[in-house]
Amino acid sequence: MTKVEKAKSSMRVKTNYVSTIISISLVLFMLGLLGLIVLNAKQISDHVKQNIGFSIYLQDEISPAELKSLQEKLLAKPYTNRIEYIDKEAAATMLKEDLGEDFVEFLGYNPLAGSIDVYLNADFAETESMNQISAELKKFKKVKEVSYQPDLISEVNDNIQKIGLVLLGFSVLLLIVVIALINNTIRLAIYSKRFLIKTMQLVGATSGFIRRPFVGRGVLNGIISGLIAILLLVGVLYWVSKNIPELMELQNINVYLILFSSVIVLGILISWISTSLAVRKFLRMQSGDLY
């Protein structure tokens, strides 16, 4: 083989490796991107649920000590995420801004009651739980009325469930497509070396000896592809942090670390299994079938 032919062969091999890594990186990036969407969907759904709650309207004669005691009891409840107290004057100010006129001056007095907004933890934002909580809140002293919107709660939960099912179905479908794409890409890469595999077999090399460098290269490609996919995902997160900073405030860095690790592990596993199966296929082929 001349130097020119060796150079062309070496270039062809390098190009093959690069195209394989790029292909695997892109499909891993797609899978990781879906993982980000699923994680954000869970965080967003919890955030939405944590902004659902009750408005507790208080009696006018409630004392500061009784108000403080009621707030402490509410904060101690397992279903409470946070509370917000709105006194009569603040309620009147907000309503005046909404109406665009001073109704207190027109009526001569402030008819509104002080209230405490109780926002729930996500696990308790269910219709049945809220009915039980409402009955419990009505038993507190100095509570005049408890208000919440059961129809809104049902609608929010139904929509979240529908979105979750769609994402789950899409995740399974994309995972199948990703595995198929990576498997086909690796098989094509091994196909270009089928004559080398058969030659090594004919000169007496064992199957394990022949398979080992290909599997090692496949695992390395999986690691490199996973790292490239992670860099792309970090770029997406950076863009989101600049354009939608509110979304990033909901996130947990440990969840992202698990996602990134999963991308690399998935790239290694799929590359390893696909490479092993592809090499084994060509080892079992007859010489005439290679053509």
Tell me the per-residue pLDDT of 211-225, one tens digit each, with 9 for 90 and over. 777 778 778 888 888
What domains does the chain contain, in order, with CATH numbers?
Answer: 3-47+156-290 (no CATH), 53-147 (3.30.70.3040)
Reported as half-sphere exposure (CB side, CA atoms, 13 A), residue 17 has a value of 14
How much is the pLDDT for 108?
A: 67
More confidently predicted of 2 and 125: 125
Q: Is the pLDDT of residue 247 over 50?
A: yes
How much is the pLDDT for 104?
A: 64
- Give pTM, 2 decimals: 0.58
Q: Is the pLDDT of residue 1 over 70?
A: no
Q: Is the pLDDT of residue 200 over 70?
A: yes
Tell me the per-residue pLDDT of 27-67, one tens digit each, with 9 for 90 and over. 788 888 877 777 777 777 777 788 888 888 888 788 888 88
CA distance 101 to 103: 6
pLDDT, mean over the chain: 76
Reported as half-sphere exposure (CB side, CA atoms, 13 A), residue 207 has a value of 10
Tell me the per-residue pLDDT of 78-99, one tens digit each, with 9 for 90 and over. 888 888 888 877 777 777 776 6
